Amino acid sequence: MIVVMQAHAPESEVEAVIDRLTELGFDVHRSTGVDHTVLGAVGRTPCDPRALEILPGVRQVVRVSEPYKLASRTFRPQDTVIEVQGLKLGGPEVVVIAGPCSVESPDQIQTAAKIVRQAGCRALRGGAFKPRTSPYSFQGLGEEALRWLRRAADREELLVVTEVMDTSQITTVAKYADILQVGARNMQNYALLKELGKLNKPVLLKRGLAGTIEELLMSAEYLLAGGNYQVILCERGIRTFETAARNTLDLCAIPIVHKLSHLPILADPSHGTGLRDKVAPMARAAVAAGADGLLIEVHPEPEKAVSDGVQSLLPEDLFALMEQLKIIATAVGRRLA
Q: Map the footprint of its own copies across residues 93-122, applying CB under 8 A.
A: none
Q: Is 293 in the site for its own copies (CB under 8 A)?
A: no
CA dihedral 184, 187, 190, 193 (to 10 degrees): 90
Q: Per rule CB under 8 A, is residue 76 in the interface with its own copies?
A: no
Q: Decide: is 175 part of the binding site for its own copies (CB under 8 A).
A: no
The single residue among 11, 19, 25, 65 that binds its own copies, judged by CB under 8 A, is 65
Beta strands at 37-42 and 27-32: parallel, antiparallel or unpaired: antiparallel
Q: CA 25 to CA 231: how far, in whole Å?
A: 32
**278 interacts with its own copies by CB under 8 A:** yes
- In the complex with its own copies, the residue whose CB is nearer, 174 or 288, is 288
Nearer to its own copies, 96 or 158 (CB): 96
Residues 208-247 that bind its own copies (CB under 8 A): 208-210, 212-215, 218, 221-222, 225-226, 238-245
Residue 187 CA from chain centroid, whole number = 8
238 neighbors 245 (Cβ within 8 angstroms):
no
Which residues touch 234 (CB under 8 Å, ≥6 apart)? 204, 205, 206, 207, 265, 266, 267, 268, 295
Q: Does 272 sit near its own copies (CB under 8 A)?
A: yes
> Which one, of 100, 130, 93, lies nearest residue 115 by Cα?
100
Q: By CB under 8 A, which span of 27-35, 76-84, 117-125, 143-151 interacts with its own copies?
A: 27-35
Q: Tell me how long the chain is.
A: 337
Burial of 230 (0-12, 13-18, 19+ CB in 10 A): buried
Q: Which range in 65-73, 85-93, 99-107, 171-179 contacts its own copies by CB under 8 A?
A: 65-73
Task: Work out whether 64 is an interface residue with its own copies (CB under 8 A).
Answer: yes
Q: Does 316 bind its own copies (CB under 8 A)?
A: no
What amino acid occupies position 300?
Answer: P
CB within 8 A of 29, min separation 6: which ones?
Answer: 39, 40, 41, 42
Residue number, 156 or 221, with CB nearest to its own copies: 221
Among 10, 11, 62, 154, binds its own copies (CB under 8 A): 62
Q: How far is the CB of 70 from its own copies (least distance, A)?
A: 9
Determine, following the binding rule CB under 8 A, whether residue 92 of this chain makes contact with its own copies.
Answer: no
Q: Does 78 bind its own copies (CB under 8 A)?
A: no
How far the first Cα of the chain sits from its last, in Å, is: 43
Check binding of 24 to its own copies (CB under 8 A).
no
